[in-house]
Amino acid sequence: MKILFVTNLYPTVNNPDYGVFTKDQIDNVCKTGIQSDIIFINARENGIFEYIKAIKKINKSYKDYDIIHCFHGLSLLIVYLSTKRIKILASFLSDLKYESLKNNKIINSIIIKFYLFVINKKRVYTIFKHKIPNYLNKNVIERSFYLPNGVDLNDFYPINKEIACNKLNLDFNKTYLLFVSSKDKFRKEKRYDVFKQVIDYLKLNCQKYDIEELVLSNVPRELCIYYFNASSVHILTSDYEGSPNSIKESLSCNIPIVSTNVGNVERIIEGSKNCFITNQNPVDIAKKVMEIFEMPKYNLREILTNNKLTVEQKTNELIDIYNKILLK
């Protein structure tokens, strides 16, 4: 089996957390011995013409592979335009309506129609990280898979809080609440504004804990583990998500969660005792955080294993998907 990975989401020197989950998934597939190559469409740093250049690269080499696995909808469109007959597997981050150009509704609606047109083709298969949308037609659903990313328990694990704080030059005596937003702290859908209101409420109403915010955004991968372990609670306030990796990484470090009911968060934390789903009201979120402060610590890592969310489990599932596609 030989796989060509095509992605416009991949870490760079200037953006070390950009698409790091894509790199992790590719790396773990390669560790199993499957032959593969990567075409990275770095339009974020080099401009939209990188997509045009990618068409030529893909068209020149795709016949050497059994499957093209592309990440994100725009990569799917480029791969489809560049190839004939070869089977394509597209991993979407979340629901199709959230895949592209969210600030331009007209262009976004046109692109969504292209997505729907392409995934209706028999040689195209899809992965959804939240759930398979029920609005897709039956033939598309039959070629679709639910597969959230897994977390590597060897990369994310509990560390003494004092050690983590020292690594980040933080005050060990403060209670840090974690907000995670890759690329940009102020990404609209991540709702830092809600998170900030939660912090403000807790500073007024829960003063014994000396609350401070801690923001993980565009941070080198090797430092991320210290952000989780320096925190007391990870708060996710998003409008929407697919399968947020920060939730799984937080659980790997035994850090509890308070999250809006987005993506597959509820499925991720199923079975946990000190993690909560709530609405987006800052006061309600803050009250759940205060509940956690009064609860004992639990082993949240076992939740990931029980819910089949480790990287080993998900890599095996992905390879099973490749095999199923090749047999069709």
Domain check: are 100 and 181 in the same one?
A: no
Q: Among positive and negative, which fits the CA dihedral 9, 12, 263, 142?
A: positive
Q: Which residues contact 269 (CB under 8 A, 6 or more apart)?
A: 247, 251, 257, 259, 275, 277, 303
User: Looking at the predicted structure, is the pLDDT value of residue 91 above 90?
Assistant: yes
State the pLDDT confidence band at 247, using cuts at 50, 70 and 90: very high
Q: What is the CATH number of the domain that holds 172?
A: 3.40.50.2000
Domain check: are 255 and 121 in the same one?
A: no
Please give the pLDDT value at position 17. 80
On whether residue 60 sits in a domain, the answer given is: yes
Secondary structure class of 32 (helix, strand, coil) = coil
Please give the pLDDT value at position 5. 98
On whether residue 174 sits in a domain, the answer given is: yes
Q: What is the mean pLDDT of the chain?
A: 93
User: Looking at the predicted structure, is the pLDDT value of residue 223 above 70?
Assistant: yes
Q: How many domains does the chain have?
A: 2
On whether residue 155 sits in a domain, the answer given is: no
Query: CA-to-CA distance for 274 and 298, rounded, in angstroms?
Result: 7
Q: What angle do CA 90, 96, 97 make, to 5 degrees?
A: 155
pLDDT tens readout for residues 14-44: 888 888 889 999 999 999 999 999 999 999 8
Note the pTM of the prediction, 2 decimals: 0.90
On whether residue 156 sits in a domain, the answer given is: no
In the 8-state DSSP scheme, what is residue 317? H
On whether residue 205 sits in a domain, the answer given is: yes
